[in-house]
Structure 1
C-alpha cells in the first residue's frame, strides 16, 4: 500500500510540474533463442529484405551483456543492433547518425543524461550507415547515385527499423512494446522525416538540431559565412582578439535580456538587439569598417543579388567559434554538398568557396530537395497514432541554423492546429552549441521525459539542463521551459 501511495504522489507531482517525469520500468523479457542462432538469418519482410551477417555476445567486466547483430538491408543499408541478453524491457531505440552518415557507429544517445532504463541496458539499440560508405569530411560523392540519395534521405531509417523489429520479434518471441528514435543534427532530420513519411515506425521521436532544410543549410548557410569570414587570399577578416571584443559586446547588450542573470549566456539571440556598428572605429574597443560589415552580414544571413533573404544567419553570441567553423567548412572542398547533394547533374568542381548567391543559382541547388528536405511538416498521421515529438536545439548553434528548429516547430503547430501541444514540444537551450558544448548547460534527460509522455501520458514541462566539467563536476544548471 505504501509503495502504491508513493507512486500516486510521484505521479501527481509530475503532472503538476513539481518533479521531472521519470521512465517507469517494464517487465523484462528473456531471449527465446541463442544469439549465435541469429547469424546468417534472412530477413523476411518484403519491404526490408536483408540478412544478418554476424551475431556475437558482447559484455564483460560487469557490463550488461548484449547480442551484437550486424547485417544489411538491400541494396546496401548496413546496420548494427544490440539486443540485451538479460535486461530487455520491450523498448527499441534507433540512434540517428550525424553529418552525411556513411559509417555504422552506435554511440551514446543524446539528451538522455541519467535516463535510468537506458543506463541499465534495458533498450535494444540500432543504428545504420543509411546506405553508403563515406570517406573524409562531409564526403557526398555517393549522392551521385539515386538509390543512395533515397536511402540517406528517408528510406534507410525506415527499412532498418523494419529489420530491427523483425529480429527483435524472432529473438525475444514478441515485438517491441515501444519504438523510439533519438538523433541530433542529421539524426534530428532523420527523426522528423520518419515521423512525417513513416508514421507507424516510431511511437516517439527526439530530434535535436534537425537539419530541416538540408540543402540550404549545407550550401547557403555555410558558404555565406565562409565567403565573408575568409578573404579570397585565404586570410581571415577577424583575428581572435577582434572576435573576443565582438563577443563581449554582444554579451553586454543581451546577456541579461528579459531579466536573465548575467552568466555569459544570451537567453534568446532572436530577441537580441545588437548592432556591431557600436564597435566601429572611434569607439573602444574598435572594429574596422570591413569587420563591422562582415559581422552584420553573418548575423543577417545569406541574401541574393537583390538583397532578398535566402536563409538564416549565425546567432548573436556565437562569435568565438566563427573562425574555427569557417576553417572546418573550407576543408569540405570539392566532392561535398555543393557538387553532389545540391547539383544535378553532379559537379565535381563545385565548392562552397565559390558558390553564387543569385536567385538563378539558388534554384538549381534544390534539384534533390524532395529526398533530403522536410518540405512538408505534416505529422497528422503520426499525431493520430499517439506519437510524441520533442525538438531541441542550442541557441548558440552555428553548424545548423538555430532558427531552423524554431521555424520547424512553428510550421508543425500551424499544420496541427489546436492539438499541437498534445504531441510536440520544443526546447531551445541558451548558450549551447551544435548538439552540445558551448557556454550554456547542455546536458538534459529528454529521454525519460518522452517515455513518460508516450507511455504514461505525462506531458513534459520545464526541464533542467546541466553543465559539467571534464572531471564530471557540476558547473551550472538552468531551467528551460518549452518554447513559446
Structure 2
C-alpha cells in the first residue's frame, strides 16, 4: 500500500508544473497520500499591508484532515517549506500568512477535526460532541482511534507529504529544505515528527512542548484537587499572588540582580508555610494580605507536585515565580477536564471532584497509561533524524504554569543519555533554551523568545552547518524601559555580570 502511494506521489511530481501565477485546482493537479485527496479550492490571496500575493490551496485528505498551503508569488518563494499551526487541540487549518510573508511555502492543518464550540467547564453530557478534545471519543466508552492518530502525528506527516507535491506542481521545483515551527501542542507535534517521520522536516523549532502529554494534562488537575481537599474550594486570587511575590522576593538575589525575575527558579526553596510575615493562624479566607497555615500548606503542595504512596514525586510542580492562578483558579483548567473525560475514562459526565489527594496517584497513572501510547513525544530516539542532518531548537519559559518546563529539560537530557553524548556533542545536534520569567509561548516579565530570529538561526544551522550563537531576547521592564537578555543554550542561563546596565544583554553572560 505504501509503495503504491509513493509511486503515485512520484508521478504527480514528474507531471508538468503549473505556471507560478496559475492558482487553480486544475493547475495543481492530482495529489497522492495514504487516503483519497480532494483539492477544495485554490485562489489568489493578498498578504496584509500590501506585502504581496500568494496562492492559497486548501486540501482535504481522507474526508477529515484539512490542510492549507500558502505559496508565495511574484518570485518571492525562498525554496523552503515551513509547517506549523495552532496549539491546544487545534481544529482549524488557518492560512499560513506569517510563513508566506517571510518567503516560505507555508502549511497548516486542523489536525483532523473541527474546533470545539463549547466551554469545557461542567459541560452537560448531552452536548459532549461540541466540546474541545471530544473528538478523541467516538461514543461513551469507545475511543476514536483514527482521530487520535490524526491528531497525534498523522496530520503533521500529511502536511509534509501534501505540501511538497503542491509546491512541485506550482513552482516546477521541489522543496529544498523543510522546517517546523510551533509552540505548545504544535511544539510536541514537531518533536514527534522528528522521531516518527524523520524524512519530513530538516529542522524543528519547538516551543513549550507537551512532550509528556499524559503527565502534563493530568498534573493540570493537581492544584484543584489540593484546594478542594484542604480548603474546600478555590483560594482567593490575591493570596496566590501574595505567595508568588513572596517567593520571588526571597530568591530574587540568588542570581545577583534584584529585577523581579528568578533566573533559575529550581534553586528557590522558599516555603509559604515557613513565612511568618504572611502566615497567620486566623487569616480569613477573604483576606488577600495573609495566608492561613492550611492555605500556605496547599500552595507548597502545588509547588512541590504530587507524590505516590511511597513519597516519590510523580511530576514536578509549578516553579516559584510562575502565576499560580492558571491552574489554581476558580475552576479547573479546561484541558485538565477534557483529557480524563474524553481520553481516559471515556465518560462525558465524569466529574473531577471525585479525585482526591489519596486517589490522585491512581488517576495520574491511569491518565498516563491511556494517553501516552498515542500522544507522547518523549521517545528520545532521534538517531535517524540526526543522521540525515536534522537539527532541533527547543525553548521553554520557566514561568510556564501550564506545560511545566522540567518536561523539556528531562527529555533533552534523555536524548543526550540515549546517544551517549557529551554536552558539546548534544549541543551540536540539539539545543534547549530556557527563558527566565517567561510564560507559555511568551508573555510574562521575562525576555520573549525571538522566534523569527531563532528560525533564521535554525535555517543557517541546517543549511550552512553554523550552530546558533549570539541570539538575544527582548523584554519590557516594569518601568516601561526596554531591555534584552542573551539566549543561552542549556544548561547555561543568563546571569548578571555584576556591573553594567542591567537592561542590556551585554551585561549578562551565559553560565
Contact 1:203–1:387 under 8 Å retained in 2 = yes
Mean Cα deviation higher: 416-425 or 262-271: 416-425
Classify 1:350/1:106 alpha carbon distance in 2 versus 1 (closer, same or farther; 3 Å): farther
Residue number in structure 1 paired with 2:34: 47
Matched, 1:131 2:138: no
Residue number in structure 2 paired with 1:243: 240
Match of 2:386 among 370, 383, 389: 383
Match of 1:475 among 473, 482, 498: 482
Classify 1:322/1:368 alpha carbon distance in 2 versus 1 (closer, same or farther; 3 Å): closer
Structure 2: which 5+ residue stretches go unaligned?
A: 1-16, 121-131, 138-143, 281-288, 492-511
- For 2:70 and 2:306, locate their aligned partners in 1 and report how far apart those are by CA, in whole Å: 43
Q: How does 1:7-406 map to 2 (within 5 A)?
A: 32-38=19-25, 43-47=30-34, 49-59=36-46, 62-86=50-74, 87-106=76-95, 121-135=102-116, 136-137=118-119, 139-144=132-137, 145-219=144-218, 221-229=219-227, 235-240=233-238, 242-259=239-256, 261-280=257-276, 286-318=290-322, 321-327=323-329, 330=332, 332=334, 336-343=338-345, 346-355=346-355, 357-365=359-367, 366-406=369-409
Classify 1:47/1:273 alpha carbon distance in 2 versus 1 (closer, same or farther; 3 Å): same
Classify 1:134/1:326 alpha carbon distance in 2 versus 1 (closer, same or farther; 3 Å): farther
Match of 2:455 among 447, 461, 469: 447
Classify 1:126/1:416 alpha carbon distance in 2 versus 1 (closer, same or farther; 3 Å): same
Contact 2:65–2:111 under 8 Å retained in 1 = yes
Contact 1:213–1:374 under 8 Å retained in 2 = yes
- For 2:278 and 2:53, locate their aligned partners in 1 and report how far apart those are by CA, in whole Å: 66
- For 1:452 and 1:243, locate their aligned partners in 2 and report how far apart those are by CA, in whole Å: 43
Contact 1:48–1:160 under 8 Å retained in 2 = no
Mean Cα deviation higher: 53-62 or 352-361: 352-361
TM-score by length of 2: 0.79
- For 1:43 and 1:353, locate their aligned partners in 2 and report how far apart those are by CA, in whole Å: 52
C-alpha deviation, 1:417, in angstroms: 2.4
Classify 1:291/1:247 alpha carbon distance in 2 versus 1 (closer, same or farther; 3 Å): same
- For 1:180 and 1:328, locate their aligned partners in 2 and report how far apart those are by CA, in whole Å: 40
3-state SS of the aligned residue for 2:23?
A: helix
Instruction: Describe the superposition over 1:157-193 as per-residue Cα deviations: whole angstroms up to 9, x where unpaired.
Output: 0012100111001100011111000000001110000
Instruction: Describe the superposition over 1:339-393 as per-residue Cα deviations: whole angstroms up to 9, x where unpaired.
Output: 22233xx122224443354444433222232110124111000000100000000
Instruction: Describe the superposition over 1:389-429 as per-residue Cα deviations: whole angstroms up to 9, x where unpaired.
Output: 00000000001011111111111111222242221000000
Residue number in structure 2 paired with 1:23: none
Higher relative contact order (CA 8 A, sep 6+): 1
Mean Cα deviation higher: 473-482 or 415-424: 473-482
Mean Cα deviation higher: 132-141 or 246-255: 132-141
C-alpha deviation, 1:36, in angstroms: 3.2
- For 1:31 and 1:467, locate their aligned partners in 2 and report how far apart those are by CA, in whole Å: 45
- For 1:329 and 1:172, locate their aligned partners in 2 and report how far apart those are by CA, in whole Å: 51
C-alpha deviation, 1:141, in angstroms: 1.3
- For 1:53 and 1:99, locate their aligned partners in 2 and report how far apart those are by CA, in whole Å: 25
Classify 1:274/1:372 alpha carbon distance in 2 versus 1 (closer, same or farther; 3 Å): same
Matched, 1:422 2:409: no
C-alpha deviation, 1:229, in angstroms: 3.9
Structure 1: which 5+ residue stretches go unaligned?
A: 1-29, 110-117
Instruction: Describe the superposition over 1:133-166 as per-residue Cα deviations: whole angstroms up to 9, x where unpaired.
Output: 1313561111011100000011110012100111
Q: CA RMSD in A?
A: 2.7
- For 1:293 and 1:172, locate their aligned partners in 2 and report how far apart those are by CA, in whole Å: 62
Contact 1:64–1:121 under 8 Å retained in 2 = no
Classify 1:329/1:455 alpha carbon distance in 2 versus 1 (closer, same or farther; 3 Å): farther
Contact 2:217–2:335 under 8 Å retained in 1 = no
3-state SS of the aligned residue for 2:420?
A: helix
Contact 2:54–2:73 under 8 Å retained in 1 = yes
Mean Cα deviation higher: 132-141 or 191-200: 132-141
3-state SS of the aligned residue for 1:264?
A: coil
- For 1:439 and 1:42, locate their aligned partners in 2 and report how far apart those are by CA, in whole Å: 49
3-state SS of the aligned residue for 1:410?
A: helix
Instruction: Describe the superposition over 1:76-104 as per-residue Cα deviations: whole angstroms up to 9, x where unpaired.
Output: 11011110012001011001320011222
Classify 1:67/1:282 alpha carbon distance in 2 versus 1 (closer, same or farther; 3 Å): closer
TM-score by length of 1: 0.83
Count matched residues.
438
Contact 2:472–2:487 under 8 Å retained in 1 = yes
Contact 1:185–1:210 under 8 Å retained in 2 = yes
Classify 1:353/1:35 alpha carbon distance in 2 versus 1 (closer, same or farther; 3 Å): farther
C-alpha deviation, 1:248, in angstroms: 2.4
C-alpha deviation, 1:45, in angstroms: 2.7
- For 2:427 and 2:391, locate their aligned partners in 1 and report how far apart those are by CA, in whole Å: 10
3-state SS of the aligned residue for 2:105?
A: strand
